Chains A and B, each alone.
Chain A
Amino acid sequence: MSDLTKLTIAEARDGLKASKFSARELTAAHITAMESAKGLNAFITETLEKAVEGATRSDDRLAKGEAGNMEGIPIAVKDLFCTKGTLTTAASHILDGFTPEYESTVTANLWAEGAVMLGKANLDEFAMGSSNETSYYGNVVNPWRRTTDDQPLVPGGSSGGSATSVAANIAMGATGTDTGGSIRQPAAFTGIVGMKPTYGRCSRWGTVAFASSLDQAGTMTRTVRDTAIMLEAMAGFDPKDGTSVDMEVPNFEAALTGDIRGLKVGIPKEYRLDGMSEEIATLWEQGVDWLKSAGAEIVEISLPHTKYALPAYYIIAPAEASSNLARYDGVRYGLRVEGENLDDMYSRTRGEGFGEEVQRRIMIGTYALSAGYYDAYYLKAQKVRARIAEDFKEAYKLVDTILTPTAPSAAFAFGEKGDDPLEMYLNDVFTVPASLAGLPGISIPAGLSSDGLPLGLQLLGRPFDEETVIRTAGVLEEAANFTAKPTTWWRA
Chain B
Amino acid sequence: MGMIIQGATGDWEVVIGLEVHAQVSSNAKLFSGSATEYGAEQNTQVSFVDAAMPGMLPVINRAAVEQAVKTGLGLKAKINNFSVFDRKNYFYADLPQGYQISQFLQPIVGEGILTIDLKDGVTREIGITRLHLEQDAGKSIHDQHPSMTLVDLNRSGVALMEIVSEPDMRSPEEAAAYVKKLRSILRYLGTCDGNMDEGSMRADVNVSVRRPGDELGTRCEMKNINSVRFIQAAIVYEANRQVDILEEGGTIAQETRLYDSVKGETRSMRSKEEAHDYRYFPDPDLLPLEFDDAFVNAIKADLPELPDAKKDRFISEMGISPYDAGVLVAEKEVADFFELVAKGRDAKLSANWVTGEFFGNLKRTGNTLATSPISADALGEVVDLVKDGTISNRIAKEVFEEMFDTGKSASAIVDEKGLKQVSDTGAIEVAIDEVIAANPEKLAEYRGGKDKLLGFFMGQVMKNTGGKANPGIVNKLLKPKLDG
Contact = CB atoms under 8 A, between A and B. Distances in A.
Nearest to B48: A102
B64 to A, nearest CB: 14
B56 A333 contact: no
Contact of B98 (A326, A333, A370): A326
Contacts of B279: 322-323, 366, 369-371, 374
A253 B97 CA distance: 40
A331 interface: yes
Interface of B: 48, 51-60, 87, 89, 91-93, 96-99, 149, 151, 277, 279-281, 284-287
Interface string A229-251: 00000000001111100000000
B91 A369 contact: no
Given A102-B48, A243-B287, A209 B96 contact: no
Q: Which 4 A-B pairs have the closest CB atoms?
A: A326-B98, A213-B284, A212-B284, A369-B279
A366 B98 CA distance: 13
B42 to A, nearest CB: 14
A68 interface: no
A371 B48 CA distance: 31
A101 B55 CA distance: 12
A364 B93 CA distance: 24
B54 A204 contact: no
Given A205-B57, A329-B91, A331-B96, A101 B285 contact: no
Given A102-B48, A242-B287, A370-B277, A327 B54 contact: yes
Given A331-B93, A370-B279, A374-B281, A209 B287 contact: no
A109 B204 CA distance: 47
Given A98-B54, A371-B277, A374-B281, A327 B97 contact: yes
Contacts of A331: 93, 96, 151
A44 to B, nearest CB: 15
A98 B57 CA distance: 18
A346 B57 contact: no
Contacts of A254: none
B54 A95 contact: yes
26 contacts: A90-B54, A101-B48, A208-B55, A209-B55, A242-B57, A242-B59, A242-B60, A243-B284, A243-B287, A319-B281, A322-B89, A323-B279, A323-B281, A326-B98, A327-B97, A327-B98, A329-B91, A329-B93, A331-B151, A332-B51, A332-B52, A342-B92, A369-B281, A370-B279, A371-B279, A374-B279
Interface residues of A, number: 44
Contacts of A378: 281
Given A240-B57, A369-B89, 7 more contacts: A241-B59, A242-B60, A243-B287, A322-B89, A326-B91, A342-B93, A370-B277
Which interface residue of B57, B92, B97 has the most chain A CB atoms within 10 A? B57
A81 B280 CA distance: 28
A88 interface: yes
A207 B51 CA distance: 16
A320 B98 CA distance: 12
Contacts of B286: 242-243
A240 B59 contact: yes
A304 interface: no
Contacts of A346: 91
A323 B89 contact: yes
A369 B284 CA distance: 14
B139 to A, nearest CB: 14
Contacts, number: 99
A237 to B, nearest CB: 12
A323 B54 contact: no
A104 interface: yes
Contacts of A343: 91
Contact of B58 (A239, A242, A342): A242
Interface of A: 81-82, 88, 90, 95, 98, 100-102, 104, 204-209, 211-213, 239-243, 319-320, 322-323, 325-327, 329, 331-333, 342-343, 346, 366, 369-371, 374, 378
Contacts of A323: 87, 89, 98-99, 279, 281
Contacts of B53: 82, 100-102, 332-333
Contacts of A239: 59
Nearest to A330: B93
B99 to A, nearest CB: 6
Contacts of B91: 326, 329, 343, 346
Contacts of A371: 277, 279
A122 B52 CA distance: 23
Contacts of B55: 81-82, 100, 104, 204-209
Contacts of A204: 55, 57
Contacts of B287: 242-243
Nearest to A213: B284
B216 to A, nearest CB: 22
B56 A243 contact: no
A212 B151 contact: no
A342 B93 CA distance: 8
B100 to A, nearest CB: 11
Nearest to B58: A242
Which interface residue of B52, B96, B284 has the most chain A CB atoms within 10 A? B284
A364 to B, nearest CB: 13
Which interface residue of B58, B59, B287 has the most chain A CB atoms within 10 A? B59
A101 B99 CA distance: 23
A198 to B, nearest CB: 15
Which interface residue of A104, A329, A366 has the most chain B CB atoms within 10 A? A329
A188 B123 CA distance: 73
Contacts of A208: 54-55
Contacts of B60: 242
A212 B54 contact: no
Contacts of B284: 211-213, 243, 320
A325 B52 CA distance: 11
B59 A82 contact: no
Contacts of B281: 319, 323, 369, 374, 378
Contacts of B92: 342
Contacts of A209: 54-55, 285
Contacts of A206: 55-56
Nearest to A331: B93
A90 B54 CA distance: 10
